[in-house]
Amino acid sequence: MNLLKEAITDQNIILKLIPQRAPIVMVDSLLYFDETKVISGLTISEDNMFLQDDYLTEPGLIEHMAQTVALYTGYHFYIKKLLAPEGYIGAIKGVHIKKLPKVHMKLETEVEILQEVMGITLVKGITRLDGEIIMSAQMKTVLKK
């Protein structure tokens, strides 16, 4: 069951949910949230630091997925009126990138929480472009202590 009443697209709120700041903010909407899943969105802007020849690079797709995990954790903290914690990508595996999106395209990334223990979150995720899966990966993130 979606615990989010409506999508969050207000950038002031998004910045309360993640520790990242410009120029490295790689999520611009929280579309869905429950205890085991989160869906984020990103419209690729012309000033995105991960662009090369008007295409979002592989590291940009990976960072977008990592920030989707941060959005999941940050929203947990936000509803408890706490600041979003900083974290790191601890490991990433099984990365499959089918195609790179262009500037102005809208990504939607769905992350399923597989396990969460002592500040370590293990997830599997997919990124869609116009409904087509363009990336999948497993990722482990670790909260900064």
In a domain, residue 47? The reply is: yes
117 vs 66: CA distance, rounded Å: 17
Q: Tell me if residue 64 falls in helix, strand or coil.
A: helix
Count: domains in the chain: 1
Residue located via tokens 């419209």: 43
Which residue type, as a one-letter code, is found at position 122?
Answer: L
In a domain, residue 6? The reply is: no
Nearest to 61 by CA among 46, 73, 51: 51
Residue 83 predicted with pLDDT over 80: yes
* Segment 118-138, tens digit of pLDDT: 999 999 999 999 999 999 999
Nearest to 99 by CA among 63, 144, 129: 129
Q: What is the pTM of this model?
A: 0.95
Number of C-beta neighbours around residue 63 at 10 A: 22
* Segment 107-119, tens digit of pLDDT: 999 999 999 999 9
Backbone angles phi, psi at 11, to 5 degrees: -65, -30
In a domain, residue 40? The reply is: yes
What is the mean predicted confidence (pLDDT) over 23-52?
Answer: 97
Residue 3 predicted with pLDDT over 90: no
- Domain encompassing residue 91: 11-143
In a domain, residue 112? The reply is: yes
96 vs 32: CA distance, rounded Å: 23
* Average pLDDT for the chain: 95
In a domain, residue 113? The reply is: yes
**CA dihedral over 63, 50, 95, 32, signed as positive or negative:** positive
What are the structure tokens assigned to 67, written together?
A: 């920030």
Which residue type, as a one-letter code, is found at position 140?
Answer: K
Q: What is the CATH number of the domain that holds 40?
A: 3.10.129.10
**Residue 18: what pLDDT?**
95
Residue 2 predicted with pLDDT over 80: no
In a domain, residue 3? The reply is: no
